[in-house]
Amino acid sequence: MKKLSHYLRPFAGVLAAAFLLLLCQAMLDLKLPDLMSSIVNTGIQQGGIEESAPRAVDPDSLAMLLSMMPEEDAAFVQGQYQPASSLSEEDRVRFDQEWPNGADSTMVRIDADAETTAALNTAMGRAEYAVVQLLSGLSDGQQSEGSPAVSGAAEMDGQALAHMLAMMPAQARQDAIDTAAVTPDSITSQTGAIFVKQFYQQLGADTDAIQTRYILRTGGLMLLASLGLAVCAIAVGFCASRTGAGVARAIRSDVFRKVTGFTNAEFDRFSTASLITRSTNDITQVQMLITMGLRIVCYAPIIGIGGTVMALRKSTSMAWVLALAVVLILGVILVMLGVALPRFKKMQSLIDRLNLVSRENLSGIMVIRAFATQKFEEDRFDKANRDLTANNLFVYRVMGMLMPTMMLVMNGISVLIIWVGGHQIAESAMQVGDMMAFIQYSMQIIMSFLMISMMFVMIPRAAVSADRIAELLDSESAVQDPEKPVYFPGGRARGVVQFHNVSFAYGGADENVLQNISFTACPGQTTAFIGSTGSGKSTLVNLIPRFYDVTEGSITIDGIDLRRLSQHQLRENIGYVPQKGILLSGDIRSNLAYGVEEAGDDELSAAADTAQATEFISRLPGGMDTSIAQGGTNVSGGQRQRLSIARALVKKAPIYIFDDSFSALDFKTDAKLRAALKETTADATVLIVAQRVSTIMHADQIVVLDEGRIVGIGTHRQLLDSCPQYREIAESQLSKEELA
């Protein structure tokens, strides 16, 4: 997983933008419950009145409130009001419009800064709350703002209220003031809003319009926040998808580049099915982790921490409810992850197995049909499929229980908050809107943990996939270019191939496949290799292009050890035709010009003539432009071999290797091809692996192999006399007349 940082570096700017957008999205998400709380508390319960200090109030009511304040607060508040008669002409016009029942003696609040306004609201709110406490005869803060004492006190005019308060004992007045001083502002502000609303109604203000304006304004902010949320979410999704797709593209390119540089030893280590899974499914898992994780890993902690802070701002007394929710959620997540994680880690290997069985079935379908083993293969596939299905079902059943359990916890916590919050509302310790906001913040906290739990599900599986990809990328090829390669003069070899006591063993093998091989192949000559099956013929010629490196000894071309040459330069000087003719999807022209893209039609036609492919190409509807299916499945085996030979001849290389490349040809075509080949490759070194003696009997030199050792070198005639193994092979294939 650490290597992901290497692939993420090019997207640093996109990641930074995504983080800022996520931060903005989280802030907006956390703001919505607060705005909803304001609509309920202020817009509905307080009639849209946000302040405890009225902007205009009759002098009697102001005097009554001043009498319920400490002297210091009273002096401060009195200094913040002036009579309407002192207003400017322009301000007086607005005053008359807003307060139709106002008079010259009406006291109007002076404009002040935010800090002064906050202090004024606090002082007025406490005074208004003290009035209610005094009139209700309670001093323990148990009276709610919706009680008859609150509404009755607010509806009385200032003179009547002042007269009633004057009749109260001085000690009762002081107790009410002291109680108000320690009451939370959230409670005093509710009482104050009711008083302010009554003051405004006495002055003829349209309080319904005030309420409507507040609700529309706050609702508009909620709509803007929701729109901002949508924009941020879309932008973050774009950034995350771009990053995930870009990283996946880079990893896929590196994996492909690495695999194309593998030698046969690496292909023996990593199965084809495993390479396909690593290049597709594993990279997809990493891409999903980046795409989803970028949003969740950053967003969930912000929401979780921010939701906790905002919830505690609404009510610290219910912090234990949040703690209980977190403990329950963590318990559920840990139990489920403990059960599911081992199965998640096993999933990729089961996908490998399914791909392996599927690939073998598809590539070997003709053999399966020929041996009538469809039932056996169906059972084998069914077992791999059932193993993967059972693993997936177990994992997803466990994870399927996560959401219902979470919903149970969420709903249970909601009920608990309503029950506890209802008691606090009854005790005037909390407002309805704050309780509703607390529920939403609690849900956000729970959802943040749920999102994090989903990451705990994705991360282990992606980590397994990332390790599998890293294992592939970190694997060192058994064949490496030298730090300072040697070059052929002019980049082209003369073609003298020499084996010097070469021995070779496959990785992990106990015995050598080839032992003490020594011979020389010169330009203008044909060197052939023959021997029983498993004698090491193909392995020997595969050492020349360095598909494997020798275990002991050395191979030289023009006196230069192959290991001192770069692989590219070496293979540029070799025309290679593999044992199994493989064509690539495209057309015949693109396949023949595969090694030399700039080859002209004349060169392609000449190579096709030599390979005896012109006749069947001309019969095809499209000629050279005839499409070739993947693997060349739309042409016969002999046609594939001839096209593969033509492809090698187009290179005009100084060295040609034909690894049993004539096996699918009939004797007539074989003879014609060898005759044409002798002319075309007159100056080149030709190495032929063959099973048929007739194919190589005219070779300049025949190397006979038996159990990885050379048991004879010479011409056909010489070997008949000196090599029993060769004579045995020849007698099994040729008539007495041909041997004579």
Taking only the tens place, the pLDDT of each residue in 646-687 is: 899 998 899 999 988 887 787 788 888 888 888 888 889 999
Q: How far from 617 is each of 157, 560, 590, 651, 663, CA to CA, in Å? A: 110, 40, 14, 20, 20
- Residue 512 is given by DSSP the state -
Please, how many CA atoms are within 13 Å of residue 348, restricted to the half-sphere of its CB?
Answer: 27
Rg (CA), the chain: 45
Above 90 in pLDDT, residue 5? no
Rounded mean pLDDT of the chain? 84
Q: Which residues contact 260 (CB under 8 A, 6 or more apart)?
A: none
Q: Which residues contact 254 (CB under 8 A, 6 or more apart)?
A: 473
How many whole angstroms separate alpha carbon 513 and alpha carbon 167? 118
- Tens digit of each residue's pLDDT (9 = 90 or more) over 28-41: 999 999 899 889 88
Per the model's pLDDT, the better-predicted residue between 173 and 717 turns out to be 717
**Tokens standing for 26?**
């989280």
Above 80 in pLDDT, residue 121? yes
Amino acid at 559: G
Helix H or strand E segment including 330: helix 319-363
**Under a CB-based contact definition with an 8 Å cutoff, are residues 710 and 693 in contact?**
no
Q: Where are the beta strands (DSSP E) in 443-571?
A: 497-504, 514-521, 526-531, 552-557, 560-561
**Tokens standing for 630?**
């993947």
Above 90 in pLDDT, residue 503? yes
In DSSP terms, 702 is beta-bridged to: 528, 714
Percent of the chain clearing pLDDT 70 (strictly above): 95
**Under a CB-based contact definition with an 8 Å cutoff, are residues 180 and 130 in contact?**
yes
Percent of the chain clearing pLDDT 90 (strictly above): 17
Amino acid at 324: L
- Residues written for the chain: 740
Choose among 167, 58, 74: nearest CA to 126.
74
Average pLDDT on 272-300 reads: 83
**Looking at residue 182, what is its pLDDT?**
85
- Tens digit of each residue's pLDDT (9 = 90 or more) over 686-716: 999 988 888 888 889 999 999 889 999 999 9
- Region class of 524: left (phi > 0), else alpha (psi between -120 and 50), else beta: left
Above 50 in pLDDT, residue 48? yes
Per the model's pLDDT, the better-predicted residue between 437 and 297 turns out to be 437
**Looking at residue 188, what is its pLDDT?**
82
**Looking at residue 613, what is its pLDDT?**
86
**Looking at residue 146, what is its pLDDT?**
43
- Residue 557 is given by DSSP the state E
Per residue in 251-279, is it b (16+ CB within 10 Å) or e — as a string? bbeebeebbeebbebbeeebeebbbbbbb
Phi and psi torsions of 611, nearest 5°: -80, 5
pLDDT band at 2 (very low <50, low <70, confident <90, very high): low
Average pLDDT on 415-434 reads: 82
Amino acid at 507: G
**Under a CB-based contact definition with an 8 Å cutoff, are residues 609 and 629 in contact?**
no
Helix H or strand E segment including 81: strand 81-83
- Tens digit of each residue's pLDDT (9 = 90 or more) over 448-476: 887 877 777 777 778 778 888 888 888 87
How many whole angstroms separate alpha carbon 128 and alpha carbon 188? 8
pLDDT band at 521 (very low <50, low <70, confident <90, very high): very high
Dihedral, CA atoms, 442, 447, 452, 454, nearest 10 degrees? 150
Above 70 in pLDDT, residue 143? no
**Residue recorded with tokens 């991360």:** 459
How many whole angstroms separate alpha carbon 503 and alpha carbon 325? 70
**Under a CB-based contact definition with an 8 Å cutoff, are residues 562 and 482 in contact?**
no
pLDDT band at 430 (very low <50, low <70, confident <90, very high): confident
Per the model's pLDDT, the better-predicted residue between 80 and 740 turns out to be 80
- Region class of 636: left (phi > 0), else alpha (psi between -120 and 50), else beta: beta
**Under a CB-based contact definition with an 8 Å cutoff, are residues 345 and 68 in contact?**
no
Above 80 in pLDDT, residue 155? no
**Under a CB-based contact definition with an 8 Å cutoff, are residues 136 and 154 in contact?**
no
Above 60 in pLDDT, residue 495? yes
How many whole angstroms separate alpha carbon 38 and alpha carbon 626? 75
**Tokens standing for 441?**
């913040």
Architecture of the CATH domain 579-652: 3-Layer(aba) Sandwich (3.40)
Helix H or strand E segment including 250: helix 207-260
**Under a CB-based contact definition with an 8 Å cutoff, are residues 104 and 84 in contact?**
yes
**Looking at residue 355, what is its pLDDT?**
80
In DSSP terms, 498 is beta-bridged to: 520, 556
Q: Is the dihedral of CA 588, 594, 598, 602 positive or negative?
A: negative
**Tokens standing for 601?**
């039609």
Above 70 in pLDDT, residue 152? no
For every residue of 129-171, DSSP letters joined together read HHHHHHHHT--SS---TTSHHHHHHHHS-HHHHHHHHHTS-HH
**Under a CB-based contact definition with an 8 Å cutoff, are residues 27 and 225 in contact?**
no
Per the model's pLDDT, the better-predicted residue between 190 and 711 turns out to be 711
**Looking at residue 420, what is its pLDDT?**
86
The least confident of 51-55, 182-186, 303-307, 414-418 is: 182-186
How many whole angstroms separate alpha carbon 59 and alpha carbon 69? 16
Out of 3.60.110.10, 3.40.605.10, 1.20.1560.10, 3.30.43.10, the CATH code matching 258-474 is 1.20.1560.10
- Tens digit of each residue's pLDDT (9 = 90 or more) over 338-396: 777 777 767 767 887 888 888 788 777 878 888 888 888 888 889 989 988 988 888 88
Above 80 in pLDDT, residue 415? yes
For every residue of 407-466, DSSP letters joined together read HHHHHHHHHHHHHHHHHHHHTTSS-HHHHHHHHHHHHHHHHHHHHHHHHHHHHHHHHHHH
- Tens digit of each residue's pLDDT (9 = 90 or more) over 205-246: 888 899 999 999 999 999 999 999 999 999 998 999 999 999
Above 50 in pLDDT, residue 645? yes
Domain extent listing, the chain: 59-202, 258-474, 579-652
**Looking at residue 470, what is its pLDDT?**
85
